[in-house]
Structure 1
Amino acid sequence: MNLPKRNSEDGRYYLMTPDAREKLQPLFDRCIRDAIDGKITRPDSLYPPVVVSSEGAPFGVHYLAMDWAEAQRAETFNVEQAVAFSENLRRLSRWGEIDHYLLGVLERELQKKYFVVTGREDDHRWNREYSLKPGIRAEDVPEPLLRFACYVAVSYKVYGLDFQYLDTNYLLGLVEKVRPNMVKKLKENGTGRLPLNLQKRKKEHFTASANDAFAVIRISAKDCTEECYSEVLNYLCELLSQEDFPRSYAVEFKGPEKKYLSITGLPKKGINQLCACAVQYPSLQSLLERYARLAMRQYERYTNLDDEQCALPGSFAVFALGMLGQPWRQLVWDYLGLCDDEHSRLQEKFLREYVKQFGFTADTVPIFVRGVLSMQSMKYSKDYAAWMANAESLGALLDAKARLSEIVPSGFSSDDDDEDDEPTDETEAGPEEVLQYAWETVCYVIWGKASAKRGLKVVETAPEELKERYRQIFE
């Protein structure tokens, strides 16, 4: 299909400007339809986030959400489509890109159409009181809108900023005015789609509960035996085998054994504790891998970690197994292919400990390079240069350079997110340019500013017997 030239300033996507709207409208409508049907993809991790339709037409997430929201009406509102649209955009970008527009639909179509507001006009919506308009009965309020209000309220709780629990309270407060049981059931049992034996489970070695609406799994271990950790991991695998369970979630684990992974900088959360305890038992390691592979989903995250310590679900299980060495290399490799800066940053902590323990070898260097390229902000450390300063390690790095196209994660881009840079047309960067940028990124993480000018300073100060290897690395 012949598509028009992209007209955004950076050439990444289409803007629905007045002069281009007539030509772009069919493509735009198709992209919204594809967002509902789950047929959109994200071509890069740059900002602002862009998604591509099944026809290959790119549009900004911001504009899709805004136009979709403006078209919604209470009388014809389809909650299944609304949730699908919202979830697919959230998954490929982030909640903060779309929440304003979803909330706007509910303010306009739910609050303003059906409720009277009391309180000072300059008060925030959180601090005002709401009651049904005269003549409107509770059953007159469309249930699809109320269900969508519950979805948005829960999403604020799961994905929003700390203070946005106030938006959760505001929306659930509206729903409670007309369907109090809907909110009660949501808080107690989640959506109701989970089997009862997964919503609540009580066994000899642990008790657990799972709320799929609020995406929270709570587990309390009664002992620190192999049987206990086996039962807990099997329970997590059962949960994640449920198609409808959220892929971003919190695991709140408590147990008597206060053990954590020996990786500096990892948050001491319950999931860290669970994986550190379970990995001690060789018979549970394949079960840990099963949990990791069920949990690992691109653009998802553990929701009870701070933004600066965000991590892909399954991260701690991967780290626990990865630190055992070569048998788990493929799992680490696959994991790093799914990571991205916006949803996962803890891989940097793991990579440092990984090469510190095993050194830069033919086995570890490709993992390290792939990990560096799984994020655009990995920090330089002088330790890397020291660990690399031997013939074996430099040879492994040269081998990785020769196979770089096989190592680079699929989402890696030759552009970065530096707002001070002039925007560039991503489509102009060819495969060779992307690989060159990737290699320069790797060299910077290892040698820092000394990697500039083809590593001139590094080559000049290298031992004579290693100079040629260094030249080949930087050429």
Structure 2
Amino acid sequence: MNTIEKIIIDNVTNGIAEVTKKDLKNHIGETAYSECEIQEGYHDYLKIQFKGQKIGFFLYDFAWDRTPYFKLEISEPIDNLPKENLIDNVISILKQQISDFFFDKANQPMFSYCIKVVLEFEYKSGSYKETFFIEDEERKLELRERMNNYITKVIYNLDRKVKDAREVTVFAGNLVNFNLMDFSPTKLIETIEHCLNQTFKDIKNRKSSDDFERSILHRLKNWVGDEFKPLYLDISGNYSEKFTFKNDFKKENVNAEQLSLWVYTSYLRIKLKDYASDALKDLEIASKDFGSETAKKYLNFGTGLFAQEDIHYKDKNIECKANDVFSTISVTIKNETSECYGKALDFIVNLLQKGFPNSYSIKFYSKSEKQFLPIKGIAKSSTNRFFTNCLQYPELHDKIEQYALVAMKEFEWYNDVEEGEKSCLPGSYAVFGLGLASEKYFPLVHKYFEILDDEHQMVHKYFINDLIDKYGVTKKSIVLICEGILSAQFEMTYKNLAALMNKEQNLELLIDELKKLESYNVEEIIYSIWGRNYTKAISKLNSQLKELLLEQLKK
């Protein structure tokens, strides 16, 4: 063994010892199962990365994590070690050292019963990587037995409550581990459904329900991305997944139970509102390319979570249908009356109250003339057209307000508009129309400004412009106008508002409102009225109040 080979092997040995020492400081006095009856170890991953004269040790399999948990520097770069020497002389010794360390009970509970080990060597001229697994069959069987007992006692018999979030996380991880549990995908789905519908609905476990939903979705998505899809697809892209089918792909060769679990995962993501649009794409692929009848059923009829009378209504004048997989509500009006539009609103409100996806769109069909809210800059979408028609009937305005109060949810969007400048919170068109119809709905507009996501929505800046034209400056309107300006991160100058400030009483109302605000908010509003050169513009005002206005910027 030459010098560089010995340096690498000795440093890896010392490095693993240091990593263990550092990590176990967080678990002083702990042993397998001492803190959680179904957790016998903490880490199932170890990557050792060699680059130049540096060796990095990683305990987490995160593609984005490039910072080692522990690192050290050796006296010679690995480029001095020929690849053939690495493969013939070093790798086998490193594997044995890591294995010996893993099986040494003195180092528990550092690692779980099975670990994935990655040895990664980066040369100037290229790289070499080797991945292998080490498993302790005895520990595996003991953990499996403990899990089976836990499932019987805690999950099915409810002999005790679930202890805490840690126990939930560990349970979900073990459950979606086919190597450990030896479950079929069908058995796994049955167990998850029992957990969702019974175990975590029980009064003593309700507080852990959200933890279980998050944990089980995380594990299922990892299984889909790491184990199922790579069997049939070549995947690329870090943020936007792209794929091509493997050359030997044939849908008749796909494991039927695994396919069912993939479809179930997509269904669950839609049900629990976890990036439902991505789940929908998976369902479409599962239906079209993998031939899943269940996926096809979801796409045609929805998840089945809603009663038939909630997702379909029809009489001689109107028909309403809903599909929670596509997050669409279709409304067909055959007779243009307030009664028909009132029924459509009732249908939509009922759906939203019963858990229909908060980001949705309305597909509207009517023989009426196409008309949209007269607000420049907002999308001329089908959803916009539906509410424009509804707003023609003053007797429906209070019902439209009820809809808006149910529909408005932060970080949710109408999904018939592409993401970008025209994206808007569900309820936007109703709020805009009502806000311009009567001061009676100012409280609704106020609530809207409070709820919307001010970092990602700007379409309401056009509504503010129309609000100024409609009401001018009054004691009530100036409050709302200022709230609107402060409710988003956009730069827009309201020249119509600047023109109104030539009146003394309007300027006085503005100053009274500015006195309530912090200086940075004052500057934002003044900028929105007079633009970049607001100091110069204000100094030209024919008003004794202009000095008082400028003072608001200095407070």
Settle same-fold status: TM greater than 0.5: yes
Contact 1:263 1:353 in 2 (8 A): yes
* Partner Cα distance (1:344, 1:88) in 2: 27
Taking a change above 3 Å as real, the CA distance of residues 85 and 355 of structure 1, as seen in their structure-2 partners, is: farther
What pairs with 1:57-456 in structure 2 (closer than 5 Å)?
Answer: 73-75=176-178, 105-112=223-230, 115=231, 125-128=243-246, 130-131=249-250, 138-139=256-257, 141=258, 143-151=260-268, 159=277, 169-172=284-287, 176-177=290-291, 180-242=292-354, 244-257=355-368, 258-307=370-419, 308-404=421-517, 435-451=518-534, 455=535
SS in structure 1 opposite 2:544? helix
Per-residue deviation, residues 349-395 of structure 1 (Å, max 9, x unmatched): 11110111111221111111111111111422333322333212211
Following superposition, the deviation at residue 165 of structure 1 comes to: 7.9
Name the amino acid aligned to 2:402. R
Match of 1:419 in 2: none
Taking a change above 3 Å as real, the CA distance of residues 171 and 103 of structure 1, as seen in their structure-2 partners, is: farther
Contact 1:382 1:447 in 2 (8 A): yes
Match of 1:470 in 2: 549
Instruction: Report 1 or 2 for greater relative contact order, CA contacts < 8 Å, sequence distance ≥ 6.
Output: 1
* Partner Cα distance (1:464, 1:379) in 2: 25
Contact 1:398 1:472 in 2 (8 A): no
Output the TM-score relative to the length of structure 1: 0.65
* Partner Cα distance (1:88, 1:390) in 2: 56
Name the amino acid aligned to 1:327. K
SS in structure 2 opposite 1:363? helix
SS in structure 2 opposite 1:286? helix
* Partner Cα distance (1:384, 1:277) in 2: 29
Q: What is the aligned residue count? A: 362
SS in structure 1 opposite 2:437? coil
* Partner Cα distance (1:438, 1:24) in 2: 45
* Partner Cα distance (1:20, 1:372) in 2: 51
2:547 matched to 1:461? no
Contact 2:511 2:549 in 1 (8 A): no
Per-residue deviation, residues 432-460 of structure 1 (Å, max 9, x unmatched): xxx32222212211122123xxx2x1332
Taking a change above 3 Å as real, the CA distance of residues 85 and 108 of structure 1, as seen in their structure-2 partners, is: farther
Per-residue deviation, residues 55-84 of structure 1 (Å, max 9, x unmatched): xxxxxxx99xxxx9x968453778679996
Name the amino acid aligned to 1:292. A
Name the amino acid aligned to 2:540. T
SS in structure 1 opposite 2:331? strand
Following superposition, the deviation at residue 153 of structure 1 comes to: 8.5
Following superposition, the deviation at residue 125 of structure 1 comes to: 2.5
Name the amino acid aligned to 2:481. F
Following superposition, the deviation at residue 295 of structure 1 comes to: 0.3
Taking a change above 3 Å as real, the CA distance of residues 87 and 295 of structure 1, as seen in their structure-2 partners, is: farther
What pairs with 1:16-35 in structure 2 (closer than 5 Å)?
Answer: none
Contact 2:519 2:552 in 1 (8 A): no
* Partner Cα distance (1:224, 1:86) in 2: 48
* Partner Cα distance (2:497, 2:411) in 1: 29
Contact 1:395 1:469 in 2 (8 A): no
Name the amino acid aligned to 1:441. E
Name the amino acid aligned to 1:186. Y
Name the amino acid aligned to 1:149. S
Range with bigger deviation, 278-287 or 143-152: 143-152
Taking a change above 3 Å as real, the CA distance of residues 436 and 118 of structure 1, as seen in their structure-2 partners, is: closer
Per-residue deviation, residues 84-120 of structure 1 (Å, max 9, x unmatched): 679989xxxxxxxx99x986541313234xx45699x
Name the amino acid aligned to 1:256. K
Contact 1:261 1:320 in 2 (8 A): yes
* Partner Cα distance (1:118, 1:336) in 2: 45
Taking a change above 3 Å as real, the CA distance of residues 449 and 22 of structure 1, as seen in their structure-2 partners, is: farther
Unaligned runs of 5+ residues in structure 2 are 1-19, 28-63, 66-168, 182-187, 197-208, 236-240
Taking a change above 3 Å as real, the CA distance of residues 341 and 159 of structure 1, as seen in their structure-2 partners, is: farther
Taking a change above 3 Å as real, the CA distance of residues 105 and 188 of structure 1, as seen in their structure-2 partners, is: same
Taking a change above 3 Å as real, the CA distance of residues 345 and 264 of structure 1, as seen in their structure-2 partners, is: same
Unaligned runs of 5+ residues in structure 1 are 1-17, 26-61, 90-97, 405-434
Contact 1:381 1:447 in 2 (8 A): yes
* Partner Cα distance (2:526, 2:223) in 1: 48
* Partner Cα distance (2:222, 2:468) in 1: 49
* Partner Cα distance (2:412, 2:318) in 1: 27
Following superposition, the deviation at residue 260 of structure 1 comes to: 1.8
Range with bigger deviation, 199-208 or 291-300: 199-208
SS in structure 2 opposite 1:337? helix
Following superposition, the deviation at residue 327 of structure 1 comes to: 0.5
* Partner Cα distance (1:166, 1:187) in 2: 10
SS in structure 2 opposite 1:197? helix
The structure carrying a bigger strand percent of its residues is: 2
* Partner Cα distance (2:298, 2:475) in 1: 52
Contact 1:279 1:320 in 2 (8 A): yes
Q: Which has the larger radius of gyration?
A: 2
Name the amino acid aligned to 1:278. C
Contact 2:515 2:552 in 1 (8 A): no
* Partner Cα distance (1:118, 1:462) in 2: 66
Taking a change above 3 Å as real, the CA distance of residues 107 and 459 of structure 1, as seen in their structure-2 partners, is: closer
Name the amino acid aligned to 1:351. I
Cα RMSD for the two superposed structures: 4.0
- The percent of aligned pairs where both chains have the same amino acid is 25
Match of 1:7 in 2: none
Per-residue deviation, residues 273-296 of structure 1 (Å, max 9, x unmatched): 222222222211110001111101
Output the TM-score relative to the length of structure 2: 0.57
Per-residue deviation, residues 390-416 of structure 1 (Å, max 9, x unmatched): 212211211212333xxxxxxxxxxxx
* Partner Cα distance (2:255, 2:549) in 1: 78
Following superposition, the deviation at residue 303 of structure 1 comes to: 0.9
Following superposition, the deviation at residue 147 of structure 1 comes to: 0.9
* Partner Cα distance (2:516, 2:529) in 1: 18
Taking a change above 3 Å as real, the CA distance of residues 199 and 24 of structure 1, as seen in their structure-2 partners, is: farther
Following superposition, the deviation at residue 21 of structure 1 comes to: 8.0
Name the amino acid aligned to 2:541. A
Name the amino acid aligned to 1:252. K
Contact 1:159 1:303 in 2 (8 A): no
Range with bigger deviation, 379-388 or 316-325: 379-388
